[in-house]
Amino acid sequence: MATTLTALNWVARIVGVVLIILGIFFWTGSAIGLIGLHMALGAIFVLVLWAMAIVAAVGRAPIATVVVGLIWGALILWVGLTQTTMPLGSAHWVIQLIHLLLGGIGIGVAQRLATVAPRTAT
């Protein structure tokens, strides 16, 4: 179980960093053609986060940590998929910033899931 969480955590870290880099490119107006890749990697990140939450739950991690992982993944997915339809005009950067913060915190949530479950597993 600890090995599974460690492997998933590394995937979350690597994919998360790639997502942040792509997001920075989008903010600067570069690499707009890679938005599809960004969305696909974002979906992978959320699936990995959910998988980590499930594995942590099996490992008897605190339920609050597991629930945060599941809900946080859903928030990332929801904001990521709907941000272009949110009508904020010139203030759209606020939604983009929220999306960035959700993703960055999501990497931290993955880290927390990876460190909490193995210690509580028997």
Domain ranges of the chain: 2-120
Q: Sorting pLDDT into bands at 50, 70 and 90, what band is 122?
A: very low
Q: State the pTM of this model.
A: 0.90
Q: Closest Cα to residue 16, out of 88, 114, 82?
A: 114
Contact residues for 44 (Cβ-Cβ < 8 A; gap 6+): 11, 15
Spatial separation of the C-alpha atoms in residues 50 and 32, rounded to whole Å = 28
Tens digit of each residue's pLDDT (9 = 90 or more) over 28-77: 888 889 999 999 999 999 999 999 999 999 988 999 999 999 999 999 99
Q: Sorting pLDDT into bands at 50, 70 and 90, what band is 118?
A: low
Higher pLDDT, 89 or 48: 48
Is the pLDDT assigned to residue 15 strictly greater than 90? yes
